[in-house]
Structure 1
Amino acid sequence: MPAPPVRGDALAEAVGLRVRLGGREVLAGVSLAARAGEVLALVGPNGAGKSTLLAALAADLAPAEGAVRVCGRPATDWNAPELALRRAVLPQSAALSFPFPVEDVVRMGRAPWAGTRPADDDDRIVRESMAATEVGAFATRSFAALSGGERARVALARVLAQRAPLLLLDEPTAALDLRHQELVLRICRERAAAGDAVVVVLHDLSLAAAHADRVAVLCDGTVAAAGAPGDVLGQALLSEVYRQPVEVFPHPRTGVPVITPLRGREDRD
């Protein structure tokens, strides 16, 4: 079983990462680390390479050049069962071929622990994961019968049940309403506070500013900037990266950056 991470340890690290898909270079020399005890948000326009970087950090996508390390070792040194104990991945879409009940879907997250001492806690961990994501009320319903937002929360519960120290979440808030967006990102903060490393792809820049310890802004397959939200999410950089004028101002109560498109008077008429 993997040793508990030490806060600040790099649990996922890309070094000079280049990835080509369909003859196109999607990542062009990216170097970035996700550390235990932090939420790292990946933001940027469509096609910037966010999901590709997440897949590479998960060791689900082999780079053309560069290296990926997971929990301090080259990703290629881990076999699939070993990786499953160290990182849990939430893809953009949650699809199942069979109409499993919700509780069974969440329990799938415990599969890597089968035959180990932690498996004795499976029932408790499944219940806690469903409670955290507010899906316990429909534990017996078919996954196939759920709404998109409900499926997204069940898929996150499965990831939480895996109890891996590295969480890689691709757009976990995309299908969710306002309440559940906040719920999911509070869960990310709680996991980081417990010592996990959380990497989350987000499109809502204000959510990233409010909940991430660090933000990496991707553009055309490179990291345009990385650091604390207040240092990175500036008006000039974001306007250039998104090719859309934005305004950035501090929230009147928290001081956290709030990012909105800059709209002229003609847009309000």
Structure 2
Amino acid sequence: MRFPRTARLAPPAPAAAGDVLAEAERLHVRLGAREVLRGVDVTARAGEVLALVGPNGAGKSTLLAALAADLRAGAGVVRVHGRPAADWTAPELALRRAVLPQSTALSFPFTVEEVVRMGRAPWAGAAGTDDEAAVAGAMAATEVAEFAARPFSALSGGERARVAFARVLAQHAPLLLLDEPTAALDLRHQELVLRVCRERARAGDAVVVVLHDLGLAAAYAHRVAVLSAGRVAADGPPAEVFTGELLSDVYRQPVEVLAHPRTGAVLVAPRRDP
């Protein structure tokens, strides 16, 4: 698959560690009759993995979509790379942020490699880009190269999730917005995806990831934002934010926060009485 040449756009300048690549300020979003987000403030910085956690319906996916400029704010503002999201054109945004939705459906029989190559579309016609290396690197990182020629429609749910993640990686955008990337994955590949997220942050990207597994969030996120009923209940390093009291209140389920006996890392588990 090859993409048509388009007018050349300037790629974003490299970010320094700590630069704000996306932020929401006093953000309100209404979907139908329901106000899903109510005055949310959150910041995604270069060099960090930010995990959005919280119970079902808390507003995590809505916040991610707003940061991606896929949902308009009812009030407040979303900025991407320092500018209001609405000020960017779609091609400009595609060079600055890559989005992984919860599910990916395709109507045509594309192969795995063709799906991953779709991530290179924003760079069509750009000088000095190596599409082949970007596609090969993304497929190797997600362990999908071995079935590159298979139809996407013939894959299992977990395999499709990894291919969709590879497409996002191939886009080489400095801001990654990932909605439940581990939901369909086995234990090995959950760890692989989040290791890749840390590697991208180490390379200077900002990664925002919606997670339901609090243990994974504690292990891999530099910061977590705990959402509850459309608001941010807490924002900070997992070791500071994840307390039994807060999580029990937010999830309406008794939760224990423990230290790993070997490493001292934060462990989160529901409290199960005999």
| Structure-2 residue corresponding to 1:172 | 181
Higher mean C-alpha deviation, range 252-261 or range 61-70: 252-261
Match of 2:151 among 138, 142, 159: 142
Q: Structure 2: how far apart are the matches of 1:252 and 1:207?
A: 17
Note if 1:255 corresponds to 2:259.
Answer: no
Q: Structure 2: how far apart are the matches of 1:254 and 1:56?
A: 37
| Structure-2 residue corresponding to 1:232 | 241
Matches within 5 A, 1:56-75: 56-75=66-85
| Structure-2 residue corresponding to 1:39 | 49
Note if 1:26 corresponds to 2:33.
Answer: no
Q: Structure 2: how far apart are the matches of 1:186 and 1:174?
A: 15
Matches within 5 A, 1:154-165: 154-165=163-174
SS of the residue 1:7 aligns to: coil
Report the AA paired with residue 205 of structure 2: D
Note if 1:264 corresponds to 2:252.
Answer: no
Note if 1:11 corresponds to 2:21.
Answer: yes
| Structure-1 residue corresponding to 2:3 | none
Deviation at 1:118, TM superposition (A): 3.9
Deviation at 1:35, TM superposition (A): 0.1
Note if 1:50 corresponds to 2:57.
Answer: no
Deviation at 1:37, TM superposition (A): 0.2
SS of the residue 1:154 aligns to: helix
Match of 2:160 among 141, 144, 151: 151
Match of 2:131 among 122, 126, 151: 122
Note if 1:215 corresponds to 2:224.
Answer: yes
RMSD: 0.6
| Structure-1 residue corresponding to 2:198 | 189
Higher mean C-alpha deviation, range 255-264 or range 79-88: 255-264
Deviation at 1:256, TM superposition (A): 1.4
Deviation at 1:224, TM superposition (A): 0.1
Segments of 5+ residues of structure 1 without an aligned counterpart are none
Q: Structure 1: how far apart are the matches of 2:196 and 2:128?
A: 22
Identity %: 74
| Structure-1 residue corresponding to 2:97 | 87
State the TM-score, normalized to the length of structure 1. Answer: 0.97
Q: Structure 1: how far apart are the matches of 2:217 and 2:262?
A: 17
